[in-house]
Amino acid sequence: GAVVSQHPSWVICKSGTSVKIECRSLDFQATTMFWYRQFPKQSLMLMATSNEGSKATYEQGVEKDKFLINHASLTLSTLTVTSAHPEDSSFYICSAREGRFVGDTEAFFGQGTRLTVV
């Protein structure tokens, strides 16, 4: 079946530096990918919708200048956490669905990236 792959699985960075997370759809094209953030013992919170060839759509309260999203191809979206701070430490997860009419199709999720900012 279709697979969504995230890289890296975990990363530790120093406060003030930037971190890039990649999300790839391995055997299907995804015009849209979604980025979620999950804090310990909480549910997934949608951060933004990544659209191939256009600007991402951010959810209310998510800083677009801090969380840069690039969806340069139909199989790759990247999330860059700029000037990371300890409060950005979280589990970041991407998701993609194949096709346009998606209610009747499953969503695929990456394995997640655990970011720790020290």
Question: In the complex, which residues of this chain contact other proteins (CB under 8 A)?
Answer: 4, 6, 31-32, 34, 36, 43-46, 49, 91, 93, 95, 97, 100-104, 106-112, 114
Nearer CB in complex with other proteins: 14/100? 100
Give the Cα separation of 108 and 94 in Å (integer): 9
Backbone angles phi, psi at 20, to 5 degrees: -110, 135
Contact 37, 55 (CB under 8 A): no
Q: Which is nearer to other proteins, 6 or 75 (CB)?
A: 6
- 65 neighbors 77 (Cβ within 8 angstroms): no
Shortest distance, position 32 Cβ to other proteins, whole Å? 4
CB of 67 to other proteins, least distance (A): 16
Question: Between 72 and 107, whose beta carbon lies closer to other proteins?
Answer: 107
Secondary structure letter of residue 87 according to DSSP? G
| Smallest distance from other proteins to CB 38, Å | 9
- Kindly state the smallest distance separating residue 83's Cβ from other proteins, in Å: 26
Nearer to other proteins, 17 or 105 (CB): 105
Nearest Cα neighbor of 56 from 76, 38, 36, 32 is 32
Distance of alpha carbon 95 from alpha carbon 85, whole angstroms: 24
